[in-house]
Amino acid sequence: MSNSEQISKQDSLEKKRIQRLTEAFSTWAKEDPDSFRQVAPDLLRQGVNRATGHDPKASRRLEYWLLDEWKSERFEGLLEFQSTEKLDLSLCETFNINRFKGTNKSWLETLTDKFAAGSDEHSGDFRRWDRHVRDQFIIIGMIVQEEDGVTQGDLARNLGIKFEDEASRLYAANVVRAAKIAITRMAISAGLDDGIFSKATGHGLHRQHSFKSNQLRELTLRWINCHPARVLVPQVLE
């Protein structure tokens, strides 16, 4: 068999494999819609992140679609699946917590213990985390990406909260506040007596949340980027 024939055969097999996988997902969705509904959003996030190189615009676009736009818009044509600059995961190989000292090391160890896949508290990997654990990870992951901070509205949207009335906006504020309180307690337990967040500014959905220390923000961002659950966080960039 010639090289061209071998390549043609491999292409044919790959197309058939994709077809079979597509059929498998369709069957899964029809026969067990509950489990499919729970897992499919994270699978989409992983796929979009891999295809677009963690492009922030693509991630944000997907989150809006998952939150509400799916009711009126089809997924087809929503995003451009083209490769951009990829997250260099080789950098994670050199990210060794033991190389750090003092409160930096304590903070990284606290994060690792809290969000360690497979612990009793989380009952498996990050896809099985309790809602409050996911909220805390997403909130940390979003805030560390922007030196000037992130609005409460953006945080809440990416937690899947809709803003239909005053009650839902109050609910969003309470969810963000509870997550930040839990994270602050983690920081204090790691020796960061003043916590890690600056005092929030502004009101309502425009309330701004940011890290107090840019050095600690960048360190935490490196840790987030090397965690498997980074796929839960939109706009994760190196």
**Mean pLDDT across the chain:** 84
> Which is more confident, 210 or 153?
210
Question: Residues 54-58: what's their mean pLDDT?
Answer: 71
Q: What is the pLDDT of residues 129-168, one digit of tens each?
A: 888 999 999 999 999 988 888 999 888 888 888 777 888 8
Which residue type occupies 29?
Answer: A
**Rounded-to-integer distance, Cα 70 and Cα 120, Å:** 35
> Which is more confident, 61 or 123?
61
Structural tokens at position 186: 């983690």
Cβ(141)–Cβ(53) below 8 Å: no
> Which is more confident, 79 or 213?
213
pLDDT of residue 53: 65
Cβ(140)–Cβ(224) below 8 Å: yes
pLDDT-derived band at 77, boundaries 50, 70, 90? confident
Nearest 5°: phi and psi at 201? Answer: -125, 155
Say if residue 214's pLDDT is above 90: yes
Cβ(195)–Cβ(188) below 8 Å: yes
pLDDT of residue 208: 94
pLDDT-derived band at 85, boundaries 50, 70, 90? very low
pLDDT of residue 82: 59
The residue with tokens 């390549």 is 7
**Rounded-to-integer distance, Cα 79 and Cα 57, Å:** 9
**Rounded-to-integer distance, Cα 32 and Cα 61, Å:** 27
pLDDT of residue 216: 94
Structural tokens at position 31: 């026969």
pLDDT-derived band at 36, boundaries 50, 70, 90? very high
Cα end-to-end distance, the chain, whole Å: 45
Which residue type occupies 214?
Answer: N
Q: What is the pLDDT of residues 95-126, one digit of tens each?
A: 889 999 999 999 999 999 999 854 444 445 78
Say if residue 62's pLDDT is above 90: no
Say if residue 194's pLDDT is above 70: yes
pLDDT-derived band at 84, boundaries 50, 70, 90? very low
Cβ(214)–Cβ(201) below 8 Å: no
Spacing of C-alpha 157 from chain mean position = 13
Handedness of CA 2, 6, 12, 15 (dihedral sign): negative
pLDDT of residue 89: 59
Strands 150-151 and 208-209: antiparallel
* Cβ-proximal residues to 236 (8 Å cutoff; 6+ apart), any chain: 49, 54, 59, 87, 141, 145, 224, 225, 230
**Rounded-to-integer distance, Cα 123 and Cα 146, Å:** 31
Cβ(208)–Cβ(113) below 8 Å: no
